[in-house]
Chain A
Amino acid sequence: MSDIAYLAWRYLAYHRIKTLVLIAAVTLIVYLPIGLNLLIGRSAVELMSRAESTPLLIGARGSRLELVLNSLYFESEAPGTLRFEEIDRVEQTGWGYGIPLDTRFRTAHSPVVGTTLDYFEFRDLQLAEGRLMGMLGECVLGASAARDAQVRPGGHVISAPQAFLDIGGVYPLKMQVVGVLQPTGTPDDRAVFVDIKTSWTIQGLAHGHQDLSTAESADEVLDVDQDRIIASAAVVQYNEVTPENVADFHFHGDPGTFPITAIIVQPHDQRSGTLLEGRYLDEDQPVQIVAPAEILADLVQTVFAVGGYVTLGIMMVGAATLATIGLVFILSLQLRRREIETMRKIGGGRARIAAVLTLEVAIVLATGVLLAATLAILTSWASATFTRTLVLLS
């Protein structure tokens, strides 16, 4: 190590706390705007990737962003609904087919996504173990949903009650886990997938109870009016679908009128998609069609704009901090006048002394920039996982 570098290093090492504070300040000043932009950029990629793989969405008229976030990320607490028969309307056009989604319910840890087996093919979801649901009351868990609930095929998850104080409300449904999906790094990882009919069962549109036409049920029957049997509250309601009682589960009403929260529409081609969009232009209709990529592109643009302002703010704070660091060095030179004078008296040239002082500053700046670059590389490397965890899965 050269003598100049040695002297500079000794000064910084001796004043290590001051040095570390300065390095930390420089690191943050340099890293924050870079790291923020990396994260925003990566988040945009992740957001757009899922949106771009979902051509069209049909949902209840209202917030388009809400519809997209709910259907792609299962985020909404109370999504609007449309009738299941809307799928028929799509498919009758011959321009595409639809996959129903019902995301109104949850378990303790995860959103429950009522859909059909087409969804797994559409999202290219692969099983890690078990099988896909085949019977009412069965469910397939995303990788992190299974981890959070600590269940495997053969275990159970229970739908969360919607209203704790409503004693007349729907009972939680105990669902059998029949499969666990491989991790995908998407919101599908944290979902509990059930058949759309199971979703309606959670709502109470389908239910199972003891057979009231048998002699054993006579105590629970209050009145019989032709085909209609009125039972007391003592009738046994099933809260789990089993092979033994599955035949007792039945729907009341027309399934075509049952609610779903969205339809993922896969048009056969671009023209079909455009024609389908045209079908839903009428704002008086209770349903709307959206292209998720367009909606999220607007969101991403807004995020980038906000990110730009934040970056600008950080850079202004950074400039102020750099100015303060400069001031600290200048004040430190004042405090070190005697030391500098001593070096001069015992043979140090002005240039050599200046080189020592400059190198001290350079070491602090270079170390800060190096650390910031390292953090930026790490951020870039981990940003995919980080943004999936923070933005998509949270």
Chain B
Amino acid sequence: MIRIRDLQFRYEHSDFSLRVPQWRVSPGARLAMIGPSGCGKTTLLSLIAGILVPASGSIVVDDHELVSLSDAARRNLRVRQIGLVFQEFELLEHLNVLDNILLPCRISGTLRPDRNMRERAELLADQVGIRDKLRRYVRRLSQGERQRVAICRALLTTPRLLLCDEPTGNLDSKNKQHVLDILDDYVAQTQATLVTVTHDPEILDRFDQVVDFSQFHVVEDEAL
């Protein structure tokens, strides 16, 4: 599902840089990445999602070599095959729950928020228990509900790869388990691949694999 080789990345105007000689995630894997803050876990997720582009090396996601794809093609791949969940939910406050879930369709330009998509959004909302809140603005939701909205948005296009950046970081214990249950159910139903960055040792037993990110070569103050 994910193959990385000789990956090198560096932010502009920053001394931080990341080097991953080789890494592979099998299809259908449920993997948790752990490691100290600032070690590059989120950066790696962004590289896998095609949001960032490496300076060199290769990232293959589902047989697509991201480095060789155009911006538009990477976006298209991201919209259709990769679901993203963030710690801070990243919902748009001026949209209601339904519009937030449908946002990937509206903003990508490659999908239409047609009847099928709406029914899919309503089904997902129903599955995570927020069906009755579809018309509410997100500022009127609890933290747990917001994360469920964000998960619905990530699952809208039935992605084959789910990238979650500390999805339970802002949730209490009850909501944490609920969110993980939703992700587990999805992965079980679709055989999707789940890569989750977390700092929370309590949830590690929910994953098949735990990868300590410090195995990768994170370089500070060193030119690539």
Whether B108 contacts A347 by the Cβ 8 Å rule is yes
- Complex interface: chain B residues within 8 A of A356 (CB): 107
The answer to whether A345 touches B109 (Cβ under 8 A) is: no
Contact indicator A347/B110 (Cβ below 8 Å): yes
Instruction: State whether A344 touches B51 (Cβ < 8 A).
Output: yes
Per the 8 Å Cβ criterion, residues 136-191 of B in contact with A are 137, 153
Indicate whether B94 reaches chain A with its CB closer than 8 angstroms: yes
Q: CB distance A347 to B104 under 8 Å?
A: yes
Which residues of B have CB within 8 Å of A11? 94
Pair B92/A3 contact, Cβ less than 8 Å: no
What is the bound-complex CA distance between A349 and B99, given in angstroms?
18
Q: Which of A3, A10, A342, A343 contacts B105 (CB 8 A)?
A: A3
- A346–B91 Cα distance when bound, in Å, is 11
Chain A nearest Cβ from B195, distance in angstroms: 15
What's the nearest-Cβ distance from chain A to residue B114, in Å? 11
C-alpha gap A3/B92 in the complex (Å):
15
Q: When chains A and B are docked, how far (Å) is the Cα of A15 from the Cα of B95? A: 11
- Give the nearest-CB partner of A356 in chain B: B107
Known contacts A7-B106, A338-B90; is-contact A349 B71 (Cβ 8 Å): yes
A6 adjacent to chain B (CB < 8 Å): yes
Cβ-defined contact, A3 with B106, below 8 A: yes
Residues of A223-246 at the interface with B, using a CB-CB cut-off of 8 Å, are none
- CB of A339 within 8 Å of the partner chain: yes
Q: A3-B113, A14-B137, A342-B90 are in contact. Are A348 and B108 (CB under 8 A)?
A: yes
A353 interface hit (Cβ, 8 Å): yes
- Roughly how many angstroms separate A13 CA and B78 CA in the complex, as a whole number? 29
Q: 8 Å CB contacts to B: which residues of A152-193?
A: none
| B51 adjacent to A7 (CB under 8 Å) | no
A183 vs B71: C-alpha distance in the bound complex, in angstroms?
Answer: 73
Q: Does B124 contact A (CB under 8 A)?
A: no
A298 to B12, CA, bound (A): 68
Instruction: Collect the chain A residues with CB atoms within 8 Å of residue B91's CB.
Output: 342
Task: Specify which of A7, A11, A15, A345 lies most central, judged by the most chain B CB atoms within 10 Å of its CB.
Answer: A345
B75 within 8 A of A: yes
Q: When the two chains form the complex, which single residue of B95, B107, B137 contacts A348, counting CB atoms closer than 8 Å?
A: B107
Contact B94 A347 (CB under 8 A): no
Asked if A123 is an interface residue, CB under 8 A from chain B, the answer is no
Please name all residues of chain B whose beta carbon is closer than 8 Å to the beta carbon of A347 when the two chains form the complex. Answer: 75-76, 78-79, 104, 107-108, 110
Tally inter-chain residue pairs, CB-CB below 8 A. Answer: 66
Complex CA–CA separation, A348 to B71 (angstroms) = 10
Interface hits, A1-33 → B, CB 8 Å = 3, 6-7, 10-11, 13-15
- Expressed in whole angstroms, the Cα–Cα distance for A3 and B95 within the complex equals 13
Interface flags for B97-117 (1: CB within 8 Å of A; 0: not) read: 001000111111110110000
Which A residues touch B46, using CB under 8 A? Answer: 345
The answer to whether B94 touches A3 (Cβ under 8 A) is no
Number of chain A residues close to chain B: CB under 8 A: 21
Q: For window 7-57 of chain B, which residues contact chain A by CB distance below 8 Å? A: 46, 49, 51
Known contacts A10-B95, A11-B94; A346 and B113 CB within 8 A of each other: no
Interface-centre pick from A13, A344, A353 (highest chain B CB count, 10 A): A344
Judging by beta carbons under 8 Å apart, are B103 and A346 in contact?
yes
Closest Cβ of chain B to A136, distance in Å, is 78
B223 at the interface (CB under 8 A from A): no
Give the shortest distance, in Å, between A341 (CB) and chain B (any CB): 8
Q: Does B84 contact A (CB under 8 A)?
A: yes
- Bound-complex Cα distance A343 to B86 (A): 13
**Whole-angstrom distance between the Cβ of A6 and the nearest chain B Cβ:** 7
A345 to B85, CA, bound (A): 10
Residue A352 CB within 8 A of the other chain: yes
Contacts of B72 in A (CB 8 A): 349
Cβ–Cβ < 8 Å partners of B106 in chain A: 3, 6-7
Chain A 332-360, CB within 8 Å of chain B: the 1/0 string? 00000011001111111100110010000
How many Å lie between the Cα of A352 and that of B104 in the bound state?
12
CA–CA, A352 and B110, complex, Å: 11
- Given the complex, which residues of A lie within 8 Å of B79, measured CB to CB? 346-347
> B94 to A345, Cβ gap below 8 A?
no
Q: Which residue of A lies closest to B153 (CB)?
A: A346
> Which residues does chain B contribute within 8 Å of A352, judged by CB atoms?
107-109
User: In the complex, which residues 192-214 of chain A have their Cβ closer than 8 Å to any Cβ of chain B?
Assistant: none
Q: What are 22 sample pairs from A and B whose C-beta atoms fall under 8 A apart?
A: A3-B107, A6-B106, A7-B106, A338-B90, A339-B92, A342-B90, A343-B103, A345-B46, A345-B49, A345-B51, A345-B84, A346-B84, A346-B108, A346-B153, A347-B75, A347-B78, A347-B104, A348-B75, A349-B108, A349-B109, A352-B109, A356-B107
> Chain A residues in contact with chain B, CB under 8 A?
3, 6-7, 10-11, 13-15, 338-339, 342-349, 352-353, 356
Contacts beyond the supplied A10-B99, A347-B78: 12 A-B pairs with Cβ under 8 Å: A3-B105, A3-B107, A3-B109, A6-B106, A7-B106, A7-B107, A338-B90, A339-B92, A342-B90, A342-B91, A349-B71, A349-B109
Chain B contacts to A: CB under 8 angstroms: 46, 49, 51, 71-72, 75-76, 78-79, 84, 86, 90-95, 99, 103-110, 112-113, 137, 153
